[in-house]
């Protein structure tokens, strides 16, 4: 996948390393997701009281909301080690067998994007999760032999951005399932103040609110924008992340008032100017903006649809009236004036 831009919730390895320093280490420090946090607290306390590993945990939701952070918190709260891998990295059942047999008693195994795990490995994972044993097949053909290996009791934490792709047998083996929601603006402001303290960045309430409003309800994006605004503040301003500094910095980085970046606006502009609002097919739209179809579909469209700027129809993608308005254009079937209502605040807690 090509780099979708500064505000994408999909993080590169380098970006993940930079984000580790501001991640909360304990459940009490985890901001927002209050219901999930309370449920996890009960699950972990109950397991520790019984002296046994907790049930396997499935975390679902869009990228950047804290699934990896919660997996590390689970291990920290239990006081055990954690082994981290991803679904695409487990191509053969032997790969998974090597991982689970190396776990110590009570350890946490975190599998990111678990819906992408290979079928043979998934079937082996069933017995590891349920019976704490795996059967390793040695040899081929009629002479093949299955060797049963015991696995120390462990807790699997699976994370997925597309829970609908999980098979029924896999989903049924998780004792606790949680869905993470987008953050409110208030929660993002709290998170930004915490991150600023850790990074040693002076930030005003207005500066935090401005960054929060352009962060798409996603903490990963909020922290990334904070680091970019910090750079601007230190190089071109007085080092303080104020309202004026945040606005100027985000303009430099092509992040507009709704949180749209260059690619988002390119998609909307192509729809409006080249195709008069659509409908237009995904592949054609991707060619028009010079990106891969999966980048447009997985990175841009979810937010544009949620923002009410783009609609998916059986005939193709269509720009809504709000998209025309956001670009300062007049829709072909209507008009709007200076008094027209702006696009809604997606993450406001107010009705």
The residues annotated with a catalytic role in the active site are 67-68, 112, 161, 220
| Distance (Å) of CA 146 to CA 97, 118, 137, 140 | 13, 20, 4, 10
Residue 23 marked in a binding site: yes
- CB atoms under 10 Å from CB of 182, counted, come to 20
Residue 183 marked in a binding site: yes
194: closest CA among 162, 165, 226, 217? 226
| Distance (Å) of CA 306 to CA 134, 216, 299, 303 | 43, 10, 12, 5
Phi, psi of 165 (to 5 degrees): -90, -5
Residue 68 marked in a binding site: yes
Burial environment of residue 164 by CB neighbours within 10 A (0 to 12, 13 to 18, 19 or more): exposed
Residue 132 marked in a binding site: yes
Half-sphere exposure of residue 262, counting CA atoms within 13 Å on the CB side? 11
How far is it, in rounded angstroms, from Cα 220 to Cα 66? Answer: 8
Angle at 205 between CA 200 and CA 208, to 5 degrees: 65
User: What length does the chain have?
Assistant: 351
Residue 67 marked in a binding site: yes
- CB atoms under 10 Å from CB of 173, counted, come to 17
List residues forming the annotated binding site: 23, 64, 67-69, 130-132, 173, 183, 220, 312, 317
List residues forming the annotated binding site for ATP: 23, 64, 67-69, 130-132, 173, 183, 220
List residues forming the annotated binding site for Mg(2+): 68
């Amino acid at each position: 996948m090509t780099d979708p831009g500064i505000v994408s919730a999909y993080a590169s390895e380098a970006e993940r390393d930079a984000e580790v320093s501001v991640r909360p280490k304990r459940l009490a420090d985890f901001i927002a997701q209050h219901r999930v946090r309370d449920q996890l607290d009960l699950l972990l306390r109950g397991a520790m009281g019984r002296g046994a590993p907790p049930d396997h945990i499935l975390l679902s939701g869009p990228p950047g909301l804290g699934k990896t952070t919660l997996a590390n918190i689970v291990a920290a709260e239990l006081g055990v080690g954690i082994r981290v891998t991803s679904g695409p990295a487990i191509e053969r059942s032997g790969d998974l067998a090597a991982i689970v047999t190396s776990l110590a008693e009570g350890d946490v195994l975190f599998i990111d994007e678990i819906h992408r795990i290979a079928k043979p490995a998934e079937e082996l994972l069933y017995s590891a999760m349920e019976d704490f044993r795996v059967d390793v097949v040695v040899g081929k053909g009629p002479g093949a032999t299955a060797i049963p290996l015991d696995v120390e009791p462990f807790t699997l934490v699976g994370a997925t951005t597309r829970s609908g792709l999980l098979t029924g047998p896999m989903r049924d083996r998780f004792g606790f399932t949680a869905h993470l929601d987008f953050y409110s603006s208030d929660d993002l402001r709290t998170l930004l103040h915490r991150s600023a303290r850790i990074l040693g960045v002076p930030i005003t309430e207005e500066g935090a609110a401005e960054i929060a409003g352009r962060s798409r309800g996603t903490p990963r994006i909020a922290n990334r924008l904070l680091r970019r605004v910090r750079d601007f503040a230190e190089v071109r301003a007085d080092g303080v992340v104020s309202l004026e500094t945040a606005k100027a910095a985000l303009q430099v980085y092509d992040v507009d008032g709704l949180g749209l970046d260059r690619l988002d606006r390119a998609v909307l502009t192509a729809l409006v100017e080249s195709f008069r609002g659509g409908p237009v097919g995904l592949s054609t739209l991707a060619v028009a903006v010079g990106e891969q179809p999966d980048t447009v579909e997985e990175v841009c469209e979810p937010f544009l649809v949620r923002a009410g700027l783009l609609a998916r129809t059986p005939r193709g993608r269509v720009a809504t009236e709000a998209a025309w308005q956001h670009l300062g254009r007049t829709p072909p079937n209507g008009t709007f004036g200076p008094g027209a209502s702006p696009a809604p605040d997606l993450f406001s807690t107010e009705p």
